Amino acid sequence: GDYADSGLNDNRDIDSYLELSLDLVNDGSISFNYEVFGQSSNGLEFFINEKQYSVHYHPSGHSKSISSAEFEVKSGLNTFRWNYHQEPDTTGSVQLSSVIVEGVGGATDEVRCEPGEYSEDSGTSVCSLCPPGTYNNDDGATGCNVCSKNSYAPTEGSVECITCGTGTSANSDRTDCETDCVFEFNDDTYNLSALQDNHGPFALEDGTGIWMNLCEKRSSASFCLDPYGESINTYMCEVDTRGNGIDYGNHLSAELVEVEDSDDKAIRLTYTVEGDDDDTHCKSTVTVVCDPDASSQVPFVLGNAQDCDLHMRWNSAYGCRICNDDDYSENNCYGPVIKNVETESCPTRYSFPLAVLIVVGILVLVLIVIIAGVIIYNRRLHSQYTALVRDSEGQYEMENMDDEDTAVSDETADKSEEQV
């Protein structure tokens, strides 16, 4: 069909725009289709009366994806401007088609609400969109249907519900699917909850980076933002060189697969984009392989990742299935006497700090024993020394007494001689 093209500009930094001014008699609306080609850093911006309105800057991050946009417009003179922005050293273009402006006159007959809309009273002048978690696919509906048990509708105006992926279930509001990251296949259980965290960025060849969280959608001011600063609620997000986020997977499904270099089956988590008007076919996978000896704590990209076709692998002990009762057996040993095998708890493996404390305690005990022995030995020596000194002093006193007695006798003899 007919369309307006921005033109192809090789390796140039450009801003190409188309401007349209109309005088609307009544409040109305404007709608249009567009298709962006080239790198994800290039895209379309839309303005009404110099005010920028949110459109997907580079829808889905891949080519051949026609997007639609529609906005309400007040009566009076309105100026519409479409601006195509292209980064330096890149090549791309945008095609604009099916521009429809409403607001020229009033209704001449009754208009039935379209699928995804409803009107509680046939006499009302407006149709309301079905709220998230509900849908209808009939013309002229007076209400909306709640999505079934395992399906959801993430946006308003849904004409059908989306079935939750394997291993996930719809929340109570039927607005999304969720999982605790524990998956069961037949009688085998796999628990990946310990791997839940924000991981990235994983660099791709075109300069963009991938952020991911295995089982929990992230919606924050830092994880994944569109060109207008609005948070994108997703598991997998590509961030381009301008910091703009692109949804790489908001729908999760888990399956058990064979891998070439492993004897055990692996869990493959597949992420797709659902609930987007762009009919996106992005597909990203993360295969978690059982590897008890894995040292890496993050996944890695497999091969040369193509735009909107990303595959990653994660070797981890958490990729191994959880042991169950069938993995254990109790046997009898037959000999002269039948002995029953009893299950005992594994011996405690002391950690390095505890072993050090035990060694230090033994050394302190040995030191105390040695010190006690030395003290006892010294006391014995002291006692022996005291006894020896006591004996020596007694003998010395007796010798002194003998000398004194001899001296007195000699003195008496001398006096006797003098008297004679």
> Going by DSSP bridges, is the β-strand pair 28-38/66-73 parallel, antiparallel, or unpaired?
antiparallel
User: What is residue 401's three-state secondary structure?
Assistant: helix
State the chain's maximal CA–CA distance in angstroms. Answer: 182
- Structural domains of the chain, with CATH: 1-106 (2.60.120.200), 109-177 (2.10.50), 182-319 (2.70.130.10)
pLDDT at 348: 47
Q: Give the CA radius of gyration of the chain.
A: 45
- How far is residue 58's CA from residue 62's CA, in Å, rounded to a whole number? 8
CB burial of residue 397 (10 Å; 0-12, 13-18, 19+): exposed
Q: Which residues contact 216 (CB under 8 A, 6 or more apart)?
A: 181, 196, 235
What's the confidence (pLDDT) of residue 394?
62
387-413 pLDDT, tens digit each = 888 877 666 555 555 555 555 455 555
Assign 351 a pLDDT band (cuts: 50, 70, 90): very low
Q: Output the pLDDT for position 278.
A: 55
Which residue is it, tokens 């001014």? 21
What's the burial of 92, exposed, middle or buried (CB within 10 Å: 0-12/13-18/19+)? buried
Q: What is the pLDDT of residue 416?
A: 53
CA–CA separation, 43 and 420 (whole Å): 155
Residues 6+ away with beta carbon under 8 Å from 276: 60, 247
Q: What is the mean pLDDT of the chain?
A: 82
Distance from C-alpha of 257 to C-alpha of 345, rounded to nearest angstrom:
34
